[in-house]
């Protein structure tokens, strides 16, 4: 397991924690606890955003990791340095056969 795949798993875990905190905030009747869970979920959302930015940077610097993290993180965030489109890669034109 490379740093990219470990990092992608960490991002997924952080997203799960943020979702759990939001769920706790909705489910609790205790207003003080609700406020605490909301604040913690906002903090986690900020953390997830920073982690995603770092993962995007890793993918830009090391595009070969994109296929490796796809099973862990879902669709690749970045495919290559010159071809970044929200996790998709525009197809290259077909090469003409040599004559």
Sequence spans of domains, the chain: 3-67
DSSP bridge pairs for 88: 85
CB 77 within 8 A of CB 63: no
Helix ranges (DSSP H) in 1-96: 3-27, 31-61, 66-73
> For residue 48, is pLDDT > 90?
yes
Q: Which residue has the higher pLDDT, 11 or 4?
A: 11
Residue 76 is predicted with a pLDDT of 43
- Give the three-state DSSP class for 92: coil
For the chain, the 3-state helix, strand and coil shares in percent, each to the nearest 5, are 70, 0, 30
> For residue 80, is pLDDT > 50?
no
CB 11 within 8 A of CB 73: yes
- Give the three-state DSSP class for 84: coil
> For residue 26, is pLDDT > 90?
yes
Q: How confident is the model at residue 70 (pLDDT cuts 50, 70, 90)?
A: low
């Amino acid at each position: 397991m490379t740093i990219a795949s470990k990092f992608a798993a960490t991002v997924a875990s952080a997203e799960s924690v943020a979702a759990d905190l939001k769920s706790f905030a909705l489910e609790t009747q205790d207003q003080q606890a609700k406020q605490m869970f909301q604040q913690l979920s906002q903090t986690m959302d900020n953390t997830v955003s920073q982690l995603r930015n770092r993962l995007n940077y890793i993918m830009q610097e090391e595009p070969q990791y994109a296929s490796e993290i796809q099973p862990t993180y879902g669709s690749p965030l970045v495919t290559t340095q010159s071809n970044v489109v929200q996790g998709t890669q525009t197809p290259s034109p077909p090469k003409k056969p040599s004559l």
